[in-house]
Chain A
């Protein structure tokens, strides 16, 4: 995996500074938002596999529910006490976790935010994440191109996560609207757009039940909805059930973000028109590699050019490709999907 020179460097360094030794046996911590969401389950699997391969010890922690900051603070304290070399964290509260992260960094631990950046982003040594704005933009462009001339009379329902305006939720929603060609007003805020084509925003909690209810309510507002943006694939599946109940599932384009296997299968079955796939396994395995590298040589990962994070990539999955948007088919997507 690693070049001989780096091993040589690591060996020579280990002679000079015993504290900065090699990755073998080093503790790396993984703290996810929850341990229930398949996204984080896959993230843990990716981290475990990579840690095993590199001979490191992985200790994983998780918040009890989405938004649970306290458990994550405790997890960081435990990892500092355990003498971890690096911590990979998907923060539940990007701002509230910062003081704890600072403590860890003062103790000489490399802290990498996965999936969700800290606020400010540079409170962590690095961020490995999906470009969520880009993920939204891809499905927005796809929807606009699929509708063609009809895009100017589209009626759009926006199925967001919750009322908290959290960064991932905002980035995907606003990215979608930009991709579709709608004036965003404030790109940091959902729901402030005044374009007539938007029927409304509603929240789904990212679940099937929530997706169905939100879709039902927005259809009551305007039964002519023909484009549905969803925060994730479970919400999309719920929205589809609502449309099916009134026999409209064929007339409406549903787009989503995630790339979970059930979601990609739904693209194959025509439930979802297009989805932007993200790569939780890659975030985690790259994170573990970065910690190993840091333990060996003390070097920290560098951001992708032009972004304030390391982009782990996003790919558009659809079986109806359009000009101007690179995509892969659901067949290919099924090989890469998670959860």
Chain B
């Protein structure tokens, strides 16, 4: 069906870019799993001692992946010992330094960040797979307009939480826009809920939802497992 070489090139490039992100998140998940397996010994619940080195993994992730502005682990509240913090999240500060992001994790408090209810966590839990959430305003979290790619992880068959990374929409734009601009005509990368992540013109604006599928708006799924990404574009009448 798709013969337009520019479209193929764009899809390949976008698929390659998000696959690389997906692999990085899998690697982080693998690293955190292995570290916790080692640190926990036979213990069931994560305590302070079990978290030693988890911060380094997040910091290394951010150093290696300049596209990401935050990375780390959100533990399921049931998987941690009462006295250890259930979030290990690291961010790139405006100065470029890497530091911990603190959240209000006290239920009922004014700024309670109930992350277990947010889709980057809950979808990863319900599907058991890597997932992509956003664009969304991460109110009470990082408080920016971001995408989150996250993956659930288990230690000895016990569900532990999710690892993931945040990508700011404004950082993503220059990275993937050149690929979208290869396409002649209006095109947009959309997420699993038909929300525009980025479009190559004013027709599809980031954050808007594409509600109806018209015959002139074909869709190509990107072959990146579980992230639910696809490309929509405006089919042009065949050139004579």
- The answer to whether A and B assemble together is no
